[in-house]
Structure 1
Amino acid sequence: MNTVTRRLFWISLVVLGTVSMVSAHDEGEGDLKVTTLAKSSDAWDDKPLPHYPTGQPEITVLKIIIPEGKKTPLHFHSVINAAVLQKGEVDVHMPDGEMKKLKAGDAFIEVVDKAHWGVNVGKGDAEFLVFYAGEKGEQITQILHGDEQPPINDAREKP
């Protein structure tokens, strides 16, 4: 085999192996067990997520603990994020009265640019693992005070 043919052969093997591995992940075949916890183009309030920004991506992963009986301040996230409640029970509220009840093991896609707060309604600490997909240097969570509302971000509303 000449050099070009040999390279194409090895590249083909790598591509086929990668495709097979990805297919196994999608189907849960082989030794790996893959379970989709959350997958959606909509947030938990059934509204579409905004488009991603066009700058340098930055992923942030946080572990957030809400002590028993406590609540988060009124806040909003300016970036798309998803979370898994690993421990506890939390009710998430929006000022308009909309609410989502969460229990340990629940995965959800968070609302973006919408005011909300969470209350630990269970026994013991509530523990979240949260994944934020934003733009480098962008603030991911902003606390609101009084009647303050998140700014309207027309750039993210465009289809």
Structure 2
Amino acid sequence: MKKTSLLLAAMSFLLILQTGCAARQKEHDAHAGPAVVRELVKTSASWNKKTLPAYPGGQPEITILHIAIPAGTRLKTHTHPVINAGVLLSGQLTVVAANGEKLLLKAGDPIVELVDTEHYGVNEGDEPAEIIVFYAGTSGAPITLSAPE
């Protein structure tokens, strides 16, 4: 009788363990199949290694922009009061911070942009630079501010 109870308890434990493991495996298999998932960037800092600020209070608002910068174009100096990140789809782009620090992006490169730091982008290439940028802002608040001239 004691062996039977012990055997039943062990089998029950194994069944529960197997069910729990199967459920956890399903979480990790969310991207299984033909999809290929590749993390481009995971960070708490912008490209200049400065720690990102806390998210602001208020109603969150996500903005996604597709920006096309013609060859030979320099964007105006500006700041972003919100955290934003993007991926350069095509061309090349150099981002220049107010202190002269530079980041050269090639097609496929990710960027976590500077927050509250003046900077500009310049396309020194021969083809348009296209970038998708995601802004984690707050409803009604600006995502880009022009620098004083």
Which band: TM-score by shorter chain?
Answer: 0.7 to 0.9
Contact 2:82 2:136 (C-alpha < 8 Å) held by counterparts: yes
Q: Between Structure 1 and Structure 2, whose CA radius of gyration is higher?
A: 2
Structure 2 residue 25 is matched with structure 1 residue 24: no
Distance 1:109 1:21 in 2: 31
Distance 2:138 2:112 in 1: 18
Match of 1:137 in 2: 140
Partner residue of 2:52 out of 45, 49, 54? 49
Structure 2 residue 71 is matched with structure 1 residue 68: yes
Q: Where do 1:4-153 residues align within 5 Å?
A: 16=23, 20-25=25-30, 29-146=32-149
SS for the counterpart of 2:62 is strand
Deviation at 1:35, TM superposition (A): 0.7
Deviation at 1:137, TM superposition (A): 0.8
Contact 2:98 2:117 (C-alpha < 8 Å) held by counterparts: no
Q: Which stretches of structure 1, 4 residues or more, deviate above 3 A after TM superposition?
A: 19-22
Deviation at 1:95, TM superposition (A): 1.8
Q: In 2 relative to 1, CA 22–118 (structure 1 residues): closer, same or farther, beyond 3 Å?
A: farther
SS for the counterpart of 1:124 is coil
Q: Which ranges of structure 1 fall in alignment gaps of 5 or more residues?
A: 1-11, 147-159
Deviation at 1:39, TM superposition (A): 1.1
Deviation at 1:24, TM superposition (A): 2.5
Q: Which ranges of structure 2 fall in alignment gaps of 5 or more residues?
A: 1-18
Deviation at 1:21, TM superposition (A): 4.6
- Alpha-carbon RMSD across the aligned residues, in angstroms, is 2.0
Distance 1:130 1:89 in 2: 15
Deviation at 1:69, TM superposition (A): 0.1
Contact 2:84 2:112 (C-alpha < 8 Å) held by counterparts: yes
Distance 1:100 1:22 in 2: 36
SS for the counterpart of 1:23 is helix
Deviation at 1:20, TM superposition (A): 4.0
Q: Give the total of aligned pairs.
A: 130
Task: Letter of the 2:138 partner, please give it.
Answer: E
Instruction: Using the aligned pairs only, state the percent identity.
Output: 44
